[in-house]
Amino acid sequence: MSNAFDQSKDYYETLEINRNATDEDVKKAYQRLALKFHPDRKEGGGDSQKFSDVGEAFDVLSDPPKKAIYDKFGQEGLKEGVPVEPGFNGAWTSKYAYHGDPEKTFRQFFGDDNLFASIYSINAPLRYGGMRPGLVKPQDPPIERDLLVSLDDLFYGCTRTIRITRKVMNDDGLTYSIKDKILTIDIKRGWKEGIRIIFSKEGDQGPNIVPADIVFTLRQKSHPLFERQHNDLIYKTKISLEKALTGFPLDVPTLDGKLIGIYVYDIVHPAYKKIVTGEGMPLSQDPSQRGNIIITFEILFPETLCAERKHLIKQALKC
């Protein structure tokens, strides 16, 4: 591929600017020509093809990465992709194709859903690369992410830090930089799965939009000993049929590392549950209060019984 500038479509010529034009020049040129060639222009002069060409030229020259490729490799390099800098394992840039909707480009620039008609119905001056005073900027849809936490983290509480990368507008209000930011989430004791933590307007910035909210939804990892049920913890244990009928001692673990000794005197049937009060999850509204541990039992029946044992069991159960 030659580095010579591809003359098949000259975006600078389309916008009637020279190759040394600034970002501000690009914005001004697009504003003027988009209004001139818009198909809905009532005074005449509208031209759908030129309107589309102007939109494509602006889409490229207003985006620094696209503009850099176009300036060096022309339209061919932009649309076919070019090798990334050495040391990137032979990677190529993405192929560019204009989305083909010049009205979308127009709307994004002027920030007005009513497009051309409303532009000429309001006498307020236009600001290139921005919206007219009084118009409400649309907000990008929220960016949704899951936040996985352990049951222990929800029991004790913890702090999580998350690094995000986003576009931040420069002081000129036209260009942007890519910057990192650390978001801090304080996970409170007793929080439940499904809680949403919202960071308002922390998404990509743009000249005609309100940045999106970033929303993290709490998701609980599975635990080897417990299942959570609201503020209670379900603890499952296996016992023999003998223990189920005659009683037995049991050590019950807790999330804070204790072993609580209890004795089960009752006959344990399949629906039987034993409750250890006040040893479950802390209540988020009042962490000094806690739910319960609910013990459920899986009874292990013998696979076979000899005739003598069957007889003894029958005799024992007659009482």
DSSP string for 168-205: EE-TTSS-EEEEEEEEEEEEPTT--TT-EEEETT-S--
Distance CA 34, CA 29 (A): 8
Domain assignment present for residue 188? The answer is: yes
pLDDT at position 6 is 41
Same domain, 187 and 237: no
Distance CA 203, CA 168 (A): 9
- Give, in order, the Cα–Cα distances in Å from 8 to each of 11, 29, 34, 52, 102: 10, 21, 22, 16, 20
Domain assignment present for residue 65? The answer is: yes
pLDDT at position 191 is 94
From 220, 250, 268, the end of a domain falls on 220
pLDDT at position 126 is 44
pLDDT digits (tens, 9 = 90+) for 116-159: 544 444 334 444 444 444 445 678 889 999 999 999 999 999 99
Q: Give residue 34's domain range.
A: 11-119
Same domain, 188 and 169: yes
pLDDT digits (tens, 9 = 90+) for 274-293: 999 999 999 998 999 999 99
Provide the domain count of the chain. 3
pLDDT at position 3 is 41
Distance CA 150, CA 221 (A): 5
* pLDDT beneath 50, residues of the chain: 1-7, 87-88, 113-115, 117-135
Same domain, 28 and 93: yes
Which residues touch 220 (CB under 8 Å, ≥6 apart)? Answer: 148, 149, 150, 151, 154, 193, 228
Q: Note the Cα 86 to chain centre separation in Å.
A: 32
pLDDT at position 129 is 44
pLDDT at position 207 is 75
Q: What is the CATH number of the domain that holds 66?
A: 1.10.287.110
- What's the pTM value of the predicted model, to 2 decimals? 0.53
